[in-house]
Amino acid sequence: MKIIILGAGQVGGSLALSLASESNDITLVDQNASLLREIQDRVDLQTVQGHASHPSVLERAGANDASMIVALTNSDETNIVACQVAYTLFHTPTKIARVRASDYLNYPDLFVQEAMPVDLLISPELLVSEYVKNLIDHPGALQVLNFADGKVQLVAARVNRDSRFTGKTLADLAREYAAYDFSIVAIYRKREAVAFTDETRVETGDELFFVTAAQQANKVTSALQGVDKPNRRILIAGGGNIGLQLAQILEQNYRVKLIERDPDRARYLSEILDKTIVLRGDAADEDILLEENIENVDIFCALTNDDEANILSAMLAKRLGARKTMSLINRPSYVELVESGMIDIAISPQQVTIGALLAHIRRGDIVAVHSLRKGAAEAIEAVAHGDKKTSKVVGRRIEEIKLPKGTHIGAIVREGTMMISHPDILIQADDHVIMFLSEKDRIHEVERLFQVSATFI
């Protein structure tokens, strides 16, 4: 597939990296030549230097025969215009734009073929704040990802010392917790995926990925973790776009405090937010944290755009007694560095954003994709089409499907109801299949599995 990516920033760069490794033809457009050269040195792709929305630049990037354009520059307007140009001059089939300003997002009628032809709007801030909200709604979870419009969730959680799962085989667990209706799709031990069967035993320190109905997710997590109190008090450090949006989503159900350094921004936030207590000051200031009873805070979220400040303030909060700390970390190399130490959950905005983009880039009818483990693994929701003759999955029982190595089916969603994967379930047309791939390189095998063969018309 030929894809043009506009903007070689953090998200654009990581997306290019992720897609190029899947043998797509990537063209990266940016105004900064040295940035492009640096990326080209590492990744096999074409680069074009120029203004992303100029028709001549898009033409040079090969917009004439591109099947997709992804506009990720810093400017909403440039992104929208680029999509407009691509649609009008080059008839590009799929146009994705990153739009940050919530004002645009509030008027979805704007983005129609006749006005602003954008097929998919991506707002990284919104995606990240929803991602964080999911984590806060599910105490104990390291990751919570939605499938089938939020009916089904994939949850990652660590087996700790109090866990009732320790030492049991998966078959034991399935028997004991039959009522909980979940299925384990991946086990990571010492950061490596473990090939598992029903007889594999769960050990302390394992990271389990399981699929379950959304309303069951908390029950399963707390069984896995021993009892974990529900979260009540949230302290957000950094009142940027993400901090603001997160506070807005959370303030109805949680007691939210937000620390912002800039006095003008703090005043603005206090006017926008309803229940959140806005504090003016430095999140790495011990006095403020103590004054605001950091020891009673359930979750401390460091969400400024400065990685180092986030990490340090989260570490400080943890030392002062915050129950759990999360930190926004842009640099991939930092993520692993901190997760073993003082910070409980590192949130990588690129990973979150890329997942949303990947769903549109994958072949076959793939509804949702979430990129996991620094992009090494992927969780996808695919729709099965065709019949027994034309499809390799429809009309077959789950145990009959030849899944690639490291791939597990977690659940099937049929007409809105979720069924936990079981070897005997017969896949029907239009079933949504939720899978976990611990080796992303095998994505093409899965794509092929779900593509309908040529005889099907």
* Min separation Cβ 99 and another protein, Å: 24
Stretches 2-10, 42-50, 196-204, 284-292: which one binds another protein (CB under 8 A)?
284-292
How many other CB atoms are found less than 10 A from the CB of residue 178? 10
SS3 content of the chain, % helix, strand, coil (to 5): 40, 25, 35
Is residue 424 close enough to count as binding another protein by CB under 8 A?
no
Binding-site member from 274, 402, 416, 454 for another protein (CB under 8 A): 274
3-state secondary structure of 330: coil
Q: Which of 192, 199, 271, 415 binds another protein (CB under 8 A)?
A: 271
Could you tell me the smallest distance in angstroms from the CB atom of residue 48 to another protein?
45
CA distance 248 to 303: 14
The beta-strand segments (E) located in 249-351 are: 255-260, 277-280, 299-302, 324-328, 345-347
Would you say 438 and 405 are in contact if contact means Cβ atoms under 8 Å apart?
Answer: no
DSSP H or E stretch at residue 381: strand 377-383
Interaction between residue 255 and another protein (CB under 8 A): no
Q: Is 289 in the site for another protein (CB under 8 A)?
A: no
283 or 427: CB nearest another protein: 283
Half-sphere exposure of 370 (CA within 13 A, CB side): 23
Size of the site for another protein (CB under 8 A): 16
Q: Which is nearer to another protein, 117 or 239 (CB)?
A: 239
Q: Cα separation of 288 and 298, whole Å? A: 17
Instruction: Pick the closer one to another protein by CB: 184 or 284.
Output: 284
- Minimum distance between the CB of residue 298 and another protein, rounded to whole angstroms? 18
Nearest by Cα to 72 from 107, 96, 44, 48: 96
Query: Do residues 49 and 26 make contact, with C-beta atoms less than 8 angstroms apart?
Result: no
User: Of 45, 155, 224, 279, which lies in the binding site for another protein, with binding defined by CB under 8 A?
Assistant: 279
Beta strands across the sheet bearing 94-98: 46-49, 25-30, 2-6, 68-71, 94-98, 120-122
Residue number, 16 or 283, with CB nearest to another protein:
283
- Find how far residue 390's CA is from the centre of its chain: 32
Q: Which is nearer to another protein, 55 or 281 (CB)?
A: 281
Any contact of residue 294 with another protein (CB under 8 A)?
no
Determine contact, residues 141/219, Cβ cutoff 8 Å: no
- CB nearer another protein, residue 260 or residue 298: 260
Indicate whether 166 belongs to the interface with another protein (CB under 8 A): no
CB 389 within 8 A of CB 397: no
Specify the stretch interacting with another protein by CB under 8 A; choose among 52-60, 144-152, 277-285, 299-307.
Answer: 277-285
Residue of 82, 278, 394, 409 interacting with another protein (CB under 8 A)? 278
Q: Which residues contact 231 (CB under 8 A, 6 or more apart)?
A: 136, 137, 139, 254, 298, 299, 324
User: Any contact of residue 277 with another protein (CB under 8 A)?
Assistant: yes
Q: What would the two tokens of residue 334 be?
A: 């930092």
Q: Is 312 in the site for another protein (CB under 8 A)?
A: no
| Stretch touching another protein by CB under 8 A, among 35-43, 102-110, 118-126, 273-281 | 273-281
* From candidates 54, 164, 255, 280, binder to another protein by CB under 8 A: 280
Q: Does 320 bind another protein (CB under 8 A)?
A: no
Any contact of residue 266 with another protein (CB under 8 A)? yes
> Minimal distance in Å, beta carbon 262 to another protein?
11
Query: Which window, 73-81, 150-158, 267-275, 349-357, contacts another protein (CB under 8 A)?
Result: 267-275
* Cross-sheet strand order for the sheet of 407-414: 366-372, 377-383, 432-437, 407-414, 417-420
Is residue 288 part of the contact set for another protein (CB under 8 A)? yes
Residue whose CB is less far from another protein, 185 or 283: 283
Q: Which of 226, 281, 321, 406 binds another protein (CB under 8 A)?
A: 281
Task: Provide the minimum distance between the beta carbon of 261 and another protein in the complex, in angstroms, as a whole number.
Answer: 11
Query: 438-449: b or e for each residue (b if 16 or more CB lie within 10 Å)?
Result: bebebbeebbeb
Binding site for another protein (CB under 8 A): 260, 263, 266-267, 269-271, 274, 277-281, 288, 291-292
